[in-house]
Amino acid sequence: MKADAVFEGGGVKGIAFVGALQVMEQNGYTWEKLAGTSAGSIVAALVSAGYTSRELKPIFEELDYMYFLKKSGIGRLPYVGPMIDLVLNEGMYRGDRIELFIEELLRRKGVRTFGDLPGGKLRIIASDISRGKMLVLPDDLVEYDLMPENFSIARAVRMSSSIPFFFQPVRLKREGKVHYIVDGGLLSNYPVWLFDVPGVPEWPTIGFRLHDRQTRSEETKVTGLFSFTRNLLTTMLDAHDRLFVEKAHAVRTIFINTLGVRATQFQLSAEMRKELLLSGEASARKFLNHWNFQNYIQVFRNSTPAQVI
């Protein structure tokens, strides 16, 4: 069955998307258009380039997430380095390794720019904090005098994944001024409405959302500015898991239990990766047990659902 897919942001927890995708693909779902925020943009980009869940599974199972936490020369200084980088470069870590990682995977499929994909195949959400505006890439690149079809998908993913203060923002120029582009989740972490059309759609949009059902009992100590900043970011990112989703969107959403894993838990054990994959699979099976596209149309598409930003 044809469907569009929208993936929520969620840091390292995004590996669970692969498990859910596997079940959906095994049940005959194929993806027409894809969109994602932050970690969701990584999965959306790779699937749009032709990767299947079967191909993605070993990639994410074997990935060393600490690889992405590259520091600059100053950032390598013990204790104070990351905070100096935060002050001087607006981020503790550079973020270029995310771009290189995606760039290489896309290259294996013969894809580099948005122009290498069918028109409208992929949408990536980012945030321009200089204007306080949500960006839908590649469409909004024209506002920065950039050609959407020539823009690197890997660079767009890096923009969407640049967690504020954690990763350094990507800079774009607009009307001679520098604009700072960061994690799309800051303004729209779950844009499940993105592909909605007036009236009755030909096929559904399926949302993939990370949902933490566990209450964390552990406390993390705040011993200084560095640990304060890290805990602040983690709290902000994980709070998205508990946001309300209105019923019209909830019925077309696969809610994936993230088992208490934090968005910035980069030292993710092999066992926990496997558990997240299995959780994604179980969540997709549960969704398919009650999902019915025709029922969704009858109940919810008499009028266009409101946007949730």
Catalytic residue among 38, 48, 72, 160: 38
Q: Residue 169 carries which DSSP code? A: P
Q: Determine the residue type at 187.
A: L
Rounded to an integer, what distance in angstroms lies between the CA atom of residue 24 and that of residue 150? 32
Single-letter amino acid, residue 118: P
Q: Which residue shows structure tokens 């998307």?
A: 17
Sign of CA dihedral 193, 240, 20, 215: negative
Give me the catalytic one of 4, 128, 183, 241: 183
* Phi, psi dihedrals of residue 218, rounded to the nearest 5°: -80, 150
For β-strands 2-7 and 30-37, DSSP reports them as parallel
CA dihedral 194, 197, 203, 207 (to 10 degrees): 20
Active site residue 183: yes
Place of tokens 């933490």: 212
- Whole-number Cα distances in Å, 279 to 44, 193, 241, 242: 19, 25, 15, 17
Q: With beta carbons less than 8 A apart as the criterion, state whether 37 and 55 touch.
A: no
Catalytic (active site) residue 38:
yes
Q: Which residues are catalytic?
A: 38, 183
